[in-house]
Copies of this chain bind each other. A is one copy, B any other.
């Protein structure tokens, strides 16, 4: 028997994404978002949902571009800080000890310390309510050498991204590997109890 919890934004897992932008003075800003993800494979598109009150919201509207930097577990303190402080009040990139790098593809900075970054051109803005969805086309994905294997394939074990659990407001690491796509086919082979 399931218990009703009401109309809420509860979903597991959500990511921890550092959204990079420039403000009107050209100062790099970064904001942590958990309302974000992949929304189209071709063209490759990702989104972040932002409240109009955020500094990043105005930056994205003005610059029509943003980056997403994926922090490792060892950046959990910095990532959390960039979700609490505002770029209106301080240079929070510097305060958090992070290094902005100007993208050569879009008018936005990414974070050097993050092992994986996406450079995005704003393609659609969808007003939903408290949040507006900013959809970006991914122009390039860049990764640190040490999270790539010999065949240039990414490894989630090396990236060690953060997982956020919204109602609990808690950060987690990615855990044990459980299998790869295709393990479900054992159901057809009758090897599963189902």
Contact surface of A with B, Cβ cutoff 8 Å: 1-15, 17, 34-47, 49, 51, 68, 70, 73, 76-85, 95-98, 116-118, 123-124, 126, 128-131, 133, 135, 137-145, 148, 152-156, 159, 161-163, 165-188, 192-194
Contacts and interface: CB of A to CB of B under 8 A. Distances in A.
B45 A39 contact: no
A190 to B, nearest CB: 11
Contact of A184 (B47, B78, B148, B183): B78
A119 to B, nearest CB: 9
Given A7-B43, A12-B15, A49-B38, A153 B181 contact: no
A116 B2 CA distance: 8
A131 B3 contact: no
A132 to B, nearest CB: 8
